[in-house]
């Protein structure tokens, strides 16, 4: 038992996104879609119905012309580390979403999900999306589906898994090569794609890891930290106006736009 | 009175017999007839004899790839290594060479231990922890003919598809992680 | 005995008991629940070994290394950056990451097609065989040669940075036509600027790997300027945290708060189009305060001081020109809308930095700029002494590929080549460099000097991508026969009479010559990742087949059996040439390659080099010392362009020889059209030949595209004064056309301007791409560059009218 009251393994996978390096190119989001078989529809402009595991938010400093500044903020699932439960795992009536205490990753089992969407309501980060329609790929594009991730079906919720399947694959390799399983690290598709290397990923519990070091950077902040959800995704920004908005609810269309 | 009583007990005996008959018929139906009704037998695309491949080791065909994944059932290029031209006169040898190897087509084997898309299974940790193949798979070392592939008419799964409770039980006994994410993707 | 009701119940009770003790009910419940979780209509990805194949991306000219993830070696599931490649170091742009969606696009053309109805009728295309298609093209081409009119054949290619361009050139020269055009790009005007200033028709290159202060004049560095992979990788390094290393300062000059402006250390907002005025104002300050590199100017620059032209006429030099009233600080302040002290501060800051460089190219290097302005920004770098060895600016190094065979050229070819290309006719001023596509199209549309019998389009989509309303469509109406080599059913292919579809990028062998914006010599081979999925054919192979069947001097000029053999021959030449090596070191060593470094040669012959290149490695060579590359008449960097004299220009005014602010105001009455329409780029919108793949469209903001409608950006103050709110529907009208769009309030917009994204408004393709938003290209105003004559389309005057 840790101080936080729940059993914790030695590994807590976490991510640090450096917003000073992020150029909003959206490569992370595209790579995520390709990796995780995320379905798309002819019209994706209704963002409340659009499925996006690596969603990107738009923040600005509310100033006028010459002083105007904005930044894009990529938002994967925060894989909240709050004691006992993440907000979503707490409300799931069927145990379809749970946190693996050996690595801190919050997973979601699609066939078990009954589509009640409690978890969507509970998540303060809009990290969860519901399959309102059957996923359908235009005819030849089914060939692009990644066999390492299972396609979802209508009526279930889905979200970012920190590319958990990559961890499983890395662990299988480590098993065979007789490496220390606690040393196994990997990179999710978003971080691999990021052309400015703004996304770091690794074990937050390993003091020597880059993420652990960056998480202690004076520029570091987390989203809605006052809710005590203990997100395992950290952001870096040199701008105070960005850091301040990390603790603001996404409420109006002016200061915070949902993309 | 007596008559009635006798009659009553006779009726009871007859009734018991009818009950037992129903009971036994149902048991027979449930244990013998139903499983045969539930599964349809599907033919494999061609015959394969493990026994005839005694000259090679198991790992020649069923091996771990460099990335830690397991090869499972070999692909046609593996068969091609020896069977580029027919190695016998049998009909199956002809099918293998003419219909698959020469056309560079994969053999659409039906996989006995097939698992659905949302299941992730890695042979690597099980192998490393010393789980013998036969714990989960049939012993094929001396097998001359492929066993029938039985498909569940309702679910479409193979009769040999391992259910989650079996996985979970063993994981629990061995003290392995039983979180959903360990086996699901 | 009668089997009565009682007996039945007894039997049933027994049966229920027996059933409960059999597996039947439990198995049924279990299976039913599994059945309920089976969605047979949900696709199930084919399983199999996952492998990676390295190659080089050819979706743009950026030269990024990629690796494509394959299942069973026959299905591409995703495209990743190659971590060993020095350009992008494993990163990738969204277009590259979505690249497999082009391979499996429903709008791919599956085999040769012929239009059986009216042009532009999508239902009229009938499949034909390759033999028929190539045979028909060959017959028509041969007939035109028989009629001694080979010059009536024209082609437009979208490839300017690979060997296909050279193959086209070889074919056209041997065939006998000058009418070969490439799609407009910044390279066009830069080559003109290079010719005037250095006597070399080569674009400038910037050593951004070693710069400490980058002053960007409207260059959208992070939206995809030059090589997007290189720029993104650099941007990450520039913003390295203190622990990771020294930070580089980026200052962005632009009218709109673009992503680069928002991400820069400082954004300097200026009036639209006035970036060059600011550069001149800074040059004025640097000269006035003697902040320039005086010894460099004296030793290596011609025309800084006053000079005398070839006819003996004394002329004003750049120095005294900068001191003239038109280039005063006040003038610059007025033109840019910046206060004079800010210009002075910026000039001092720029001059004080050791490794400062000015970069430019507003359209990400994808459209020609005003050549005078190219030269102004260049001149600012010259004042800084940036062409010194170890300086920040040079010419892009050339790649010594194998020479193509000499073209003997028969009588017919000579006759055809004697005819001027259609764009050069009726032009008073001789063109500086290259061909002028806009001039060609407008002449063909209005008064063709001679009929264009065949127009071939290769990897280009002029019907969508060229500025001006129906520039291309009108010209095509006068074209006898149009051939498209497109792999996609795009706007241009739709207008074709016959389509000979090319392979998709990942199925095709291609090469990449040069890394745009980088001083290093760069060459890469994009090996095919998968065999062609459809009945398509490499356009290079089609050209070779045409040449072969025409025989004679045309066949001799293109002797290769296949496009692959052609590329291998070129690589053989590269292997035989001096210098260069295959980059096999750690990507972080790329930055160590400098002028004078001698890469360690790691191949012995063409075959060895080919093998390494087709495995995804790239060839490189050190940058050249720019001072050694100068081929101007004076042997110096020329800031007074006396080359204009030798090109046959009769220049009257002194200033026309000099880098100057020469903004061309777009047409239209400012009273009728009070606003200025400017296009902008987003890295999540592909605006070139490749349409926006669905993965990327998913990431487009709902204030850029909502349903079928796109938005224009308007400053909140401007919107308020016009009574417009967020989301209002308006008609945006320019002298060239109009579009129905919606309003998005954007505080980063210049109040007198309205901004519209590039990349929307495509027609056709499929339901995921076509009919989304309005195409800004069709609204823009095209003007001829005062020096090069190239079409420039940087803006248009606009008015907004509220709808309903």
**Hey, which residues does C732 pair with through a beta bridge?**
C739, C800
In a domain, B61, yes or no: no
E runs forming strands in A131-255:
157-159, 199-203, 220-221, 233-236
E runs forming strands in chain A:
13-18, 55-60, 70-75, 97-100, 105-108, 128-130, 157-159, 199-203, 220-221, 233-236, 256-258
**Predicted pLDDT at A4:** 44
Higher pLDDT, C630 or B16: C630
Provide the pLDDT confidence category of residue A257 given band limits of 50, 70 and 90.
very low
Report for C63-72, C429-438, C780-789: range of highest mean pLDDT? C63-72
For chain C, give the mean pLDDT: 93
A68 pLDDT above the threshold of 90: yes
Provide the pLDDT confidence category of residue C245 given band limits of 50, 70 and 90.
low
The sheet with strand C356-360 has its strands ordered as C266-269, C249-254, C213-217, C356-360
**Predicted pLDDT at C1:** 53
Interchain CB contact of B120 with C (< 8 Å): no
CA distance C500 to chain B (A): 29
Q: Model confidence over A150-195: pLDDT tens digits?
A: 999 999 999 999 999 999 999 999 999 999 988 999 999 999 999 9
Q: Do B64 and A151 touch (CB under 8 A)?
A: no
In a domain, B79, yes or no: no
**Predicted pLDDT at C774:** 97
Q: Model confidence over C231-244: pLDDT tens digits?
A: 999 999 999 866 55
User: Alpha carbon A81 to chain centroid distance?
Assistant: 13
C421 pLDDT above the threshold of 90: no
Mode of pairing for the β-strands spanning C356-360 and C213-217: parallel
Q: Model confidence over B2-41: pLDDT tens digits?
A: 555 556 677 778 888 889 999 999 999 999 999 889 999 9
In a domain, B81, yes or no: no
Higher pLDDT, C430 or A162: A162
C contact residues 147-176, partner A, Cβ 8 Å cutoff: none
- How far apart CA C445 and CA C662 sit, in angstroms, is 28
Helix (H), strand (E) at residue C228: helix C228-238
**Predicted pLDDT at A254:** 46
Tell me the CATH class for C113-188+401-621.
alpha beta
User: Of C226, C291, C730, whose CA–CA distance to C519 is shortest?
Assistant: C226
Q: Model confidence over C557-607: pLDDT tens digits?
A: 999 999 999 999 999 999 999 999 999 999 989 988 988 889 999 999 999
Interchain CB contact of B67 with C (< 8 Å): yes
**Predicted pLDDT at A256:** 45
**Predicted pLDDT at C430:** 64
The residue in chain A having the minimum alpha-carbon distance to the alpha carbon of residue B63 is A176
Which pair of structure tokens corresponds to residue C690?
A: 């490749």
Q: Do C18 and B27 touch (CB under 8 A)?
A: yes
**Predicted pLDDT at C366:** 63
Interchain CB contact of C40 with A (< 8 Å): no
Any idea which fold C50-103 has?
Answer: N-terminal domain of TfIIb (2.20.25)
Domain ranges of chain A: 13-258
E runs forming strands in B77-176:
149-152
**Predicted pLDDT at C396:** 87
Q: Which chains touch C (3 or more CB pairs under 8 A)?
A: A, B
CA distance A107 to chain B (A): 6
Q: Do A100 and B117 touch (CB under 8 A)?
A: no
> Between the CA of residue C143 and those of A85, C114, C138, C687, what are the distances in Å?
79, 20, 8, 38
C428 pLDDT above the threshold of 70: no
Q: Model confidence over C467-495: pLDDT tens digits?
A: 988 889 999 999 999 999 999 999 999 99
**Predicted pLDDT at C240:** 83
- How far apart CA C582 and CA C86 sit, in angstroms, is 11
Interchain CB contact of B20 with C (< 8 Å): yes
> From the candidates A22, A27, A138, which should be mutated to test the interface with C, based on the most C CB atoms within 10 A?
A27
- How far apart CA C422 and CA C441 sit, in angstroms, is 9
The answer, yes or no, to whether ipTM is higher than 0.90 is yes
Provide the pLDDT confidence category of residue C790 given band limits of 50, 70 and 90.
confident
Q: Model confidence over A197-234: pLDDT tens digits?
A: 999 999 999 999 999 999 999 999 999 999 999 999 99
> Between the CA of residue C627 and those of C198, C204, C380, C397, C684, what are the distances in Å?
9, 13, 17, 13, 39
What residues in C contact A94, CB-CB < 8 Å?
none
**Predicted pLDDT at B86:** 86
In a domain, B176, yes or no: no
Q: Do C106 and A148 touch (CB under 8 A)?
A: no
> From the candidates A35, A145, A153, A176, which should be mutated to test the interface with B, based on the most B CB atoms within 10 A?
A176
C7 pLDDT above the threshold of 90: no
Tell me the CATH class for C204-395+637-657.
alpha beta
pTM for the full model?
A: 0.94
Asked if C724 contacts C730 with a C-beta cutoff of 8 angstroms, the reply is yes
**Predicted pLDDT at A7:** 57
Number of domains in chain B: 1
Any idea which fold A13-258 has?
Answer: Alpha-Beta Plaits (3.30.70)
**Predicted pLDDT at A252:** 45
| Residue located via tokens 């293109």 | C558
Full domain range(s) for residue B6:
1-41
Q: Which of A147, A165, A176 sits opposite B128 (nearest CB)?
A: A176
Mean pLDDT of all residues in C110-135:
96
What residues in B contact A102, CB-CB < 8 Å?
177, 179
- How far apart CA C153 and CA C144 sit, in angstroms, is 8
| CATH placement of domain C675-802 | 2.40.40.20
Domain ranges of chain C: 5-36, 50-103, 113-188+401-621, 204-395+637-657, 675-802
The residues of chain B scoring below 50 in pLDDT are 1
Q: Do C21 and B38 touch (CB under 8 A)?
A: no
The residue in chain B having the minimum alpha-carbon distance to the alpha carbon of residue C25 is B30
User: Of C748, C761, C753, C760, whose CA–CA distance to C794 is shortest?
Assistant: C753
C51 pLDDT above the threshold of 50: yes
C100 pLDDT above the threshold of 80: yes
Q: Model confidence over C306-347: pLDDT tens digits?
A: 999 888 899 999 999 999 988 899 999 999 999 999 999 999
Asked if A200 contacts A15 with a C-beta cutoff of 8 angstroms, the reply is yes
Mean pLDDT of all residues in C602-624:
95
Residue C637's SS3 state is: strand
| Residue located via tokens 């050139």 | C169
What residues in A contact C109, CB-CB < 8 Å?
none
Asked if A220 contacts A14 with a C-beta cutoff of 8 angstroms, the reply is no
**Predicted pLDDT at C241:** 67
Q: Model confidence over C636-690: pLDDT tens digits?
A: 999 999 998 888 777 889 999 999 999 988 999 999 999 999 999 999 999 999 9
């Amino acid at each position: 038992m840790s101080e936080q009251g729940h059993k914790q393994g030695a590994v807590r996978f976490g991510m640090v996104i450096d917003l000073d390096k992020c150029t909003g190119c959206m490569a992370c989001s595209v790579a995520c879609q390709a990796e995780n078989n995320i379905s798309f529809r002819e019209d994706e402009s209704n963002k409340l119905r659009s499925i996006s595991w690596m969603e990107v938010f738009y923040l600005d400093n509310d100033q006028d012309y010459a002083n105007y500044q904005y930044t894009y903020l990529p938002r994967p699932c925060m894989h909240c580390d709050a004691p006992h439960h993440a907000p979503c795992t707490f409300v799931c009536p069927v145990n379809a979403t749970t946190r693996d205490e050996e690595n801190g990753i919050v997973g979601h089992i699609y066939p078990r999900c009954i589509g009640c969407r409690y978890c969507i309501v509970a998540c303060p980060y809009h990290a969860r999306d519901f399959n309102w329609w059957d996923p359908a790929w235009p005819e030849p594009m089914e060939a692009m589906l990644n066999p390492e991730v299972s396609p979802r079906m209508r009526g279930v919720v889905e979200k970012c898994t920190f590319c958990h399947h990559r961890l499983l694959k890395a662990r299988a390799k480590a098993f065979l090569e007789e490496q220390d399983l606690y040393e196994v690290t990997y990179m999710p598709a978003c971080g691999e794609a990021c052309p400015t290397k703004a996304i770091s990923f690794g074990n937050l519990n390993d003091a020597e890891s880059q993420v652990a070091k960056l998480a202690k950077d004076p520029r570091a902040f987390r989203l809605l930290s006052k809710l005590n959800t203990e997100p395992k995704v950290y952001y870096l920004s040199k701008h105070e106006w960005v850091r301040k908005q990390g603790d603001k609810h996404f409420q109006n269309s002016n200061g915070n736009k949902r993309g | 009175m007596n008559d009635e009583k006798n009659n009553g007990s006779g009726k009871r005996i007859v009734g018991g017999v009818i009950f037992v008959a129903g009971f036994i018929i149902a048991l027979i139906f449930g244990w013998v007839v139903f499983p045969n009704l539930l599964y349809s037998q599907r033919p494999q695309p061609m015959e394969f004899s493990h026994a005839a491949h005694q000259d090679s080791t198991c790992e020649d065909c069923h091996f771990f790839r460099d990335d830690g994944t397991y090869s499972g059932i070999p692909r046609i290029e593996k068969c091609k290594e020896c069977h580029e031209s027919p190695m016998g006169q049998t009909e199956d040898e002809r099918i293998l060479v003419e219909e698959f190897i020469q056309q560079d087509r994969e053999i659409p084997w039906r996989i006995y231990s097939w698992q659905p898309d949302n299941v992730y299974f890695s042979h690597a940790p099980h192998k490393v922890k010393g789980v013998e193949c036969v714990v989960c798979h049939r012993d094929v070392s001396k097998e001359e003919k492929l066993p029938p592939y039985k498909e569940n008419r309702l679910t479409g799964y193979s009769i040999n598809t391992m259910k989650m409770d079996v996985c979970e039980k063993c994981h629990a006994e061995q003290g392995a992680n039983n979180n959903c994410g360990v086996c699901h993707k | 005995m009668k089997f009565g009701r009682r007996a039945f119940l007894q039997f049933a009770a027994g049966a229920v008991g027996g059933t409960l003790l059999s597996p039947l009910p439990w198995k049924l419940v279990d299976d039913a629940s599994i059945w309920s979780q089976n969605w047979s209509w949900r696709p199930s990805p084919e399983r199999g070994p996952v492998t990676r194949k390295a190659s080089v991306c050819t979706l743009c000219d950026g030269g990024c290394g990629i690796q494509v993830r394959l299942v069973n070696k026959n299905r591409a599931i995703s495209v990743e950056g190659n971590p060993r490649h020095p350009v992008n170091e494993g990163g990738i742009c969204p277009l590259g990451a979505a690249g497999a969606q082009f391979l499996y696009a429903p709008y791919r053309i599956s085999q040769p097609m012929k239009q059986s109805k009216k042009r532009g009728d999508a239902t009229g295309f009938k499949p034909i065989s390759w033999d028929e298609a190539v045979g028909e093209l060959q017959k028509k081409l041969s007939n035109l040669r028989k009629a001694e009119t080979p010059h009536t054949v024209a082609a437009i290619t979208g490839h300017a940075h690979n060997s296909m361009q050279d193959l086209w050139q070889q074919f056209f020269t041997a065939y006998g036509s000058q009418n070969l055009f490439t799609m407009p790009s910044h390279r066009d005007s830069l080559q003109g600027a290079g010719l005037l200033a250095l006597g070399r028709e080569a674009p400038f290159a910037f050593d951004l790997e070693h710069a400490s202060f980058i002053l960007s004049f409207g260059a959208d560095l992070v939206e995809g300027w030059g090589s997007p992979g290189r720029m993104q990788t650099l941007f990450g390094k520039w913003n390295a945290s203190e622990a990771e290393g020294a930070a580089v300062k980026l200052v962005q000059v632009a009218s709109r708060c673009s992503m680069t402006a928002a991400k820069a250390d400082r954004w300097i907002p200026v009036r639209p189009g006035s970036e060059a005025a600011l550069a001149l104002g800074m040059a004025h300050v640097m000269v006035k305060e003697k902040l320039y590199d005086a010894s460099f100017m004296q030793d290596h620059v011609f025309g800084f001081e006053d000079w005398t032209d070839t006819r003996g006429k004394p002329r004003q030099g750049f120095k005294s020109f900068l001191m003239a009233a038109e280039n005063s600080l006040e003038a610059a302040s007025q033109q840019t809308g910046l206060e004079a002290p800010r210009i002075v501060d910026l000039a001092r800051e720029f001059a004080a930095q050791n490794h400062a460089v000015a970069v430019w190219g507003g359209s990400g290097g994808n459209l020609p700029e005003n050549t005078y302005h190219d030269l102004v920004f260049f001149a600012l770098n010259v004042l800084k002494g940036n062409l010194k060895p170890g300086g920040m600016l040079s010419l892009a190094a050339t790649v010594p590929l194998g020479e193509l065979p000499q073209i003997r050229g028969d009588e017919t070819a000579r006759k055809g080549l004697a005819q001027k290309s259609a764009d050069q006719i009726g032009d008073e001023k001789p063109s500086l460099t290259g061909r002028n596509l806009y001039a060609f199209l407008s002449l063909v549309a209005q008064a063709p000097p001679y009929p264009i019998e065949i127009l071939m389009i290769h990897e280009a989509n002029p019907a969508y991508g060229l500025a001006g309303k129906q520039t291309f469509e009108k010209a095509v109406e006068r074209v006898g026969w149009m051939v498209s080599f497109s792999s996609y059913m795009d706007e241009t292919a739709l207008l074709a009479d016959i389509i000979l579809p090319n392979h998709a990028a990942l199925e095709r062998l291609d090469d990449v010559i040069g890394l745009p914006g980088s001083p290093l010599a760069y060459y890469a081979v994009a090996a095919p990742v998968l065999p062609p999925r459809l009945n398509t054919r490499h356009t290079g192979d089609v050209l070779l087949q045409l040449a072969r069947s025409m025989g004679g001097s045309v066949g001799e000029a293109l002797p290769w059996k296949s496009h692959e053999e052609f590329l291998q021959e070129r690589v053989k030449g590269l292997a035989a040439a001096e210098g260069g090596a295959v980059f096999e070191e750690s990507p972080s060593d790329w930055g160590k390659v400098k002028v004078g470094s001698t890469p360690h040669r790691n191949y012995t012959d063409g075959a060895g080099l080919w093998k390494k290149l087709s495995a995804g490695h790239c060839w490189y060579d050190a940058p050249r010392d720019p001072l050694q590359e100068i081929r101007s008449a004076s042997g110096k960097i020329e800031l007074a362009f006396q080359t204009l004299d030798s090109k046959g220009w009769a220049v009257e005014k002194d200033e026309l020889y000099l880098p100057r602010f020469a903004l061309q105001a777009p047409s239209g009455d400012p009273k009728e059209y009070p606003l200025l329409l400017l296009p902008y780029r987003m890295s999540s919108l592909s605006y070139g030949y490749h349409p926006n793949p669905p993965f990327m469209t998913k990431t487009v903001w709902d204030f850029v595209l909502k349903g079928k409608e796109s938005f224009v950006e308007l400053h909140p103050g401007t919107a308020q004064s016009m009574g417009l709110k967020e989301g209002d529907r308006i008609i945006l009208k320019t002298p060239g056309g109009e579009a129905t769009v919606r309003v998005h309030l954007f505080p980063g917009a210049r109040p007198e301007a309205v901004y519209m994204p590039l990349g929307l408004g495509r027609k056709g393709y499929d339901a995921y791409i076509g009919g989304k938003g309005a195409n800004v290209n069709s609204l823009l105003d095209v003007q001829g560059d005062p020096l090069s004559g190239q079409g420039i389309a940087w803006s248009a005057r606009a008015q907004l009218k509220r709808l309903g």
